[in-house]
Structure 1
Amino acid sequence: MLFRFLVLVMLVVVSSGCSWLGKKDERKYISDIGTLTVRTASDEPLGVDHRDVIRSYKSYLEVSTDPELRVRVAHRIAGLKLQWDETRMDQLGDDIDAMVEEDREMAEASIGDYEALLELYPDRIDNDTIYYQLAKAYSLAGRQNQAIAVLEELTERYPESIYYLEAQFRLGRMLYNVNDFEASESRFTQVVEFGFKGNPYYLDAQYFRGWALFKQNRLEDSLLSFTEMIDEHFPDDETLMAADGAELEVLNDTLRIMALMFDYLGDWNEIARFYDEHGTRYFEYRIYAELSNQYYEKKYYKSSASTLRAFVDRFPDDDRAPLYYRRLISGYEKAGYPMLRRKHKEIFIERFGVGSPYWETHGEEVRTLITVALGDYIWDLATFAHGWGQQTKSARDKRERLEQAAGWYREYIRSFPKAPDAVKAHFLLAEISYEIGNYDDARNNYEIVAYQYPFYENAAEAGYAALLAYNKYKPTPEEEARWRQLTVASAKRFVLEFPQDERRGTVLVNTAEMLLADEYYGQALTTARLAQESGVELPPRYSYGASLVQGHSAFELGKFEEAETALLAASEYSELNRKQRADLRQKSAAAIYKQGEAAQEENPEEAVAQWLRLAEVVPESDLRENAEYDAATLLMQTEDFARAEEVLLGFRENHPNSKFSNDIRSKLIIAYEGQGEWRQAAFELKTISDSGTDDEEKRIAAFQSAEYFEKAEDYDNAIVMYRRYAHTYKRPFDPAIEAHYKLDQIYAKLGEEEKRRFWLDKIISLHSRAGDDRTDRSRYLASKAAFELGEFDRRRFDDIEITLPLAKSIVRKNNAMQGALKRYTQAVEMEVLEFTTPATFHIGDMYAKFSRGLMESERPAGMDELEEEEYTFLLEDQAFPLEEAAIDIHQTNISRTYDGLYDEWVKKSFRSMARLMPGQYDKQEKAVTYVDQIR
């Protein structure tokens, strides 16, 4: 019995677990531990089961008197009964009905044992284990409410128990199962708040808490809870992808319920809204995918696609974006939505295609994924639009669809230039482009097919079609040179690349003619030349065509010498009618005329020769008159006036009724001017003045004619024309007063003073009446005229001697002086400096001369000395005021030096004052010697 007792005690201690160790008050020290003998246990299994052990424990209780051991053994018996139930439950699985009566009795027995222990020992510190085991027993017995109550008491009474976390977790599960979701959430929250360390229920508690929140319809809180769970346990995509086993099941189920909740909240847009509010998460792509799958399973195909597209719109640069969009397209395809499928193929190409911002910012791995679908999508869209365009009857729809197809073929070529079927795309694109009038694109793609894929079955047709496209296209002025080169190159390549083609002989000529018809003159000319130089013998019709194209094209391009030769050659074609031949000769004359035009800038002599040659080559041409006129004009411009005069006179004789007749006269005038033949020029101008129809032209011609007669020293005719102008034209004012002045100058040359006086007086009158038309020039001429008239009277004044009898001579001299004073005063009042100082001097000088003349005049005979003295006094009385006036006037002239004026006439006034007032104005400076200065 003692041995059996020791075995039982050891079983209790070992099987009770660590929670029983170290709970007695006795202290253990190293010295208290005795020597232990270790016996090796047998490897043979023990031939006992739970019932045998339970019976052994019960036997012990019958003899044991130690209270503590009795409690522990009783606890162990209850534990073994519970373990029996757990084992049987594992064996039976879900088949509870298979439990035998013994099983049920064992379960109830374990519950009774635990309840008895709690009743007998309610305050033991290790009762947490009893509560834990009792709750488990209730649970196994299907008595959930009692299990919940026991666990609640355990967590309340033993917060430090090792079973606390598990009890809280089990409570959460049980409360959830009985639909008390709020309480369940609370229990799970407490488990989560304990933290991750040392908490094996942490992940599951987070998971079930999310579910408890969901069951309360607190969707936002549930989503946030699940989000935090994923954040913590799957911090990046690598850990997410590495999840497996139970962890993977939790993860997948979490994503499923999260997707479902977003659907409950509205739709896929709720995902973005939620994570915009709570922060973007890397794993959102999984939620979008899950929600899309759920929609698809429910046959909500558009919602499924919209969810996938929402992800792409939210994360446009994500590596998965193309895959999600492909899933979207595949969904529409499987669901039978062809229009939506094509629409989103277009969007896929736009967003992810070659060269797109997405393509440029992603590496080869992502590009490879895109390429898989891209080619199929583009080709499908191209062939669909092409087929629709060919079948539709509406011209508008046809063009629209063909343009769409062309765009997709172009996109395919751009994206996959090295693909085997790229040549086919080029050819189909060329066909469409030609059909819709996009000839530039057509010829480009035809040429690619013809010359980059020479072994393609339609290569020759493509080459010929390229030429037709060249003929149809109308390049801009900026493109013209380039287009010309391309056209010629294409025709030449066709001839060289396809030498056996039966169209080779006519390709170049036909191309040239079509280019000419479309006014592509450069290309036409080059092609016509190539046709004539290619070594191909052309029939007369094509030879004529080549010459015709060459002539017209060269003419339009300014190659007039070549045009003349080619057009004259074309005019010899026997099938032409009279009008056609005349037109060609007329254009040949135009080419000659244009050669003159082209040469006039750099080689005027050549230009003149060409224009005069026109009459020899095509004498019947309407351009002959213009050519001869232009030859004369150019001779005038180059100042070859002698030859110009000859041509002009010949023109006047050959074309008397020409519309250029008036201009011929003008040019003759210039030719005469250039040769200094002023009199001939003047007569031509006089003719215009006499018989012209334009009043202004007649006025100008009259004045210029007078000038040219004056230059030729034909003063009689000059006077006639100046006088005509002066009497006829008062306006404009400037030439009118000049005409008066010219008459004065001519009469001055002829020495006709009286006629000069007339015109000088007219100048003064014309200026004084001019009002606002007065100018500095007219004031100058009027001042000069007044001065000149004063000079006439002053000279007469100087010529009159004061003789006896004084009364007569003085009156005559005074009259002359007054006339001069009046005119000089007029000159001074006009404030023209050139005449102000001399007029002032002459006025002062006349007063001085008058004074001296009186004093030096002849004395009457027979006077005695006294009488002579008195006579002299009388003369002095008359002379003194005159002398005083002379002094005042000379001082006025001298005072102008204060204004910086010191000319010849001011100097003369100084000299006059030296005579009149020698004491003041005739002082000589006294030189002081060096020795005198020292003294």
Structure 2
Amino acid sequence: MKRLVAALLCSFGVATLSWAQEAFRVELGGEGETIGDMRPVFLPFESRPMPAISPAEVARRYQKLFRSSDEPEVRIDALNRLSNIQTLSGEDIGFTPEEETAIYREAIGSYESIIGRGSYSGRLDELLYQMAKAHALTGQADESITRLKQLAGLYPKSPFAPEARFRVAESAFASGNYPEAEAEYRAVLDQVSGDSPLGTKVRFMMGWSQFKQGVSAWNRAADNFIRVLDGFLPDQESLLTVDRSSVDTIDDTLRVLAMMAARTDGAERLYTWLDGAEDRYWTYVVFDRLADYYAVLGQYTESVAANQAFVDYFPNHPRNPAFLAQVADVWLLADKPAKVRAAKANYVAQFASPDLYQTLSGAEQERWLQFSRELADFHYHSGSRNLAAGNRVDGQQDFSTAASFYEALAGRTEESGEVLRLAGDARLQSGQYSAALIDFQESAYTFGGYPEAADAGWAAIVLLREGLDGQRTSPGFRADIDDLAHEAVRFEVHFSGDGRLAGLLAELSVRWFERGELEKAIETAQKAVLHPGSNASERYAAWQVVAKVRQHREEFSLAEQAWNNVLEQLGSGEVSPAGATDARAAQHQLATVIYRQGEVAAEAGNVDAAVNHFERIESALPGSEIAIKGRYDAANTLLIAHQYAAAIDAFTRFRADFPDHSLTAGISDKLVHAHVSAGDPAQAADELLLVARSESNPWPTRLKAAALYHEGGAIESRNTIYTGYLGTSPVVESADHHVLQQTMRQRLIASGDDPLKLQEAIVASELDSQWHSEETLAWAARSALILGARAAATFTGIRLTHPLADSLDRKQVALESARQRFLEAEKFGDEVVRSESLYRRAELYRGLAQDLMASSVPDDLNEMEAMQYQMLLEEEAYPFEEKAIRLHSDNHQRIASIGFNAWIGRSLDALAKMNPGRYDRTVRWMSWAMEVNDGA
């Protein structure tokens, strides 16, 4: 630590302060190693005019006078004049030192004689001074001090008094009487200027006398020592030009101040003594001496505290860097490496800002850089060791600290790029990915130009890639594809020849595509494909993106070319991995874009091109599902284009080639449609019956076939299906189903296929059903009338024979059967049907009445009995005739509500015969309509 004052002490000049004296000389700061070694200092006598002869001749005469005279006054006066001559002339004349001692020993008697007489013509203060000098030179120290005290006491205003008091103080100090010494030194200061050489010497010695008195007097001592230093070192320049003769005094002063502070409150007490003043240029020296004092004693903590205290007390002092660096030196001396690092870290932190860093000198900046790099490297290696040992928390903290130091070095060293790359790696290891990214970027692009700059740029790309994939996550770090793309552009601009660029472009194109940025995806992919450094794997990935983008844009022809390029890269054998799965996927995509070309052509009505595309899928991906679908769609395209013959042929071949495929299940419908559209519904029906064979419930399909047979006029085939279906006694489940079954029966009736049974079924089904239509009701009504007419014919065919009761019963049963059919017809039919029913019902009764009247009389009756029997028959027939008349009459009366029809006319004809008086007349039936009152 001496280096803080080394420059000061080494530059002290040699300027010896001295006083010329008649008998002895005192050199301030040079006549003794300690205070006790110093000799008395006397001021010279008052000067007297020199005679106009040579000083040596005058001196010779006064020497002769001293030796020859017996008068004390004369002898003393001769001595005084010799002293004055020597002072004024500056020549070494008079007595030799040995002679001088002998002479003064002789002169003592003269001095005592004069003092004893009590009278002296000269000044007594001079006499006492010379007498004290004589005692001092002859070794009578006590007597010399006594005379000096007399001089100071009797003549306090004498010019000899300050010197006398100083000598007395020196004597007291040497004897250990420090309070007396302090008092005498203070008395001297009352008489001399504090800035004079003697004043400085006195203040210095007074401080020592106070120091010797103990801690209670140290505040006073410190004040004097500080004044001494202020006198020696008043300004900045004085620190560099200290007189060599003052070096020891200054050094002793600094040492005693440091010692007093160390033995009390340390730096705090020192700061108090200095009164916190910053305008003393030597303040830092005494703080350094205090720190040095502690270090020498092995009190390293206190030494560090002293250094730090100076920085804290004087935060803007230019010497602060040296004090902070000295803290590290102290801990190094104490063998405390952790504290050494902490001190260096504090030094680095104190001057980390650009403004403060610029205040450092060149050497201090070099030290700052050295400390920073040492700390950075230490924490980097420590982080590596901790992570290797599984201590993740401490390891990451070490790496973070190392990164901070590396980052601080950036811009202040020629190796900024390298240290920032290390900083980025350290940030990466510590999990601080945002900071790592910035470090890598600045290392590569701000401070590039070194061999590993490309690696730093690539590290930034890898970090962004891993962040984008979720492998790197930390607070504040959010990577997206835009960041990665921007970084890729920068990398390409600065390191276009880097072999990793093609792979990056290929990867980036994939990411753009996954994000949906198709324009950027294809642009980047094309750059990857064309990059001279790309390999097969990279071209494979890029061509995939091109193909997918073309496919997404429905540029299917260009997509087909791209997929062929993908397959070409796979076929090169250089793609890793290049398994069958990858090839199969590419082939499938190729087949897909060919298929889509077929779809586009089909939509545009270009049938031939569409069919060609669909069918050539087989060559791209043989046996694949999409190839099968292409075959199917080719046939379907022909069907949609009304090319029925070709479509039928294509569908037929498809079904033969792929009998178990799911699409085959719908081909029958397609073929049916094609046959129907081609005007051959019977062929369509045949197709449906073929399908029905394999169905668990074939009837829906068979019924469709029956409809097509009906449409094609294949009645026999149709009726076969109708008969078979109705033979299953199907349950009616809906209105449509009811109508369907009734239609079948009606059509079968129309074709003459067992009409009686079918007519009965029509009537029965209509009676049982909750659903009806106009057609089914009409069909049921007609069937009921036919069945009723058939029953009526049976009724008419029954002859009334004896025994009458038996035949009459049978006839009545037949009548009732017919009547019920006519009533059923009335339920189903319209007004015309009702008119027919009324007529036919009336005729049943009229016929019964006529048959009764015409029945034979039993042969075993006599005439009277036969007449009675005939009368009884008439009585029996009469009600039936009346009922017939009433029904015909009801039919007749309906003219008013429904108008005239043939069946009403026939009822009128019957009434004319049965009641000619009322109905047998010429009648012309006219249609009329009531006028509508229009309000006129």
TM-score by length of 2: 0.48
Larger Rg: 2
Structure ranking higher on relative contact order (CA contacts 8 Å, 6+ apart): 2
TM-score by length of 1: 0.48
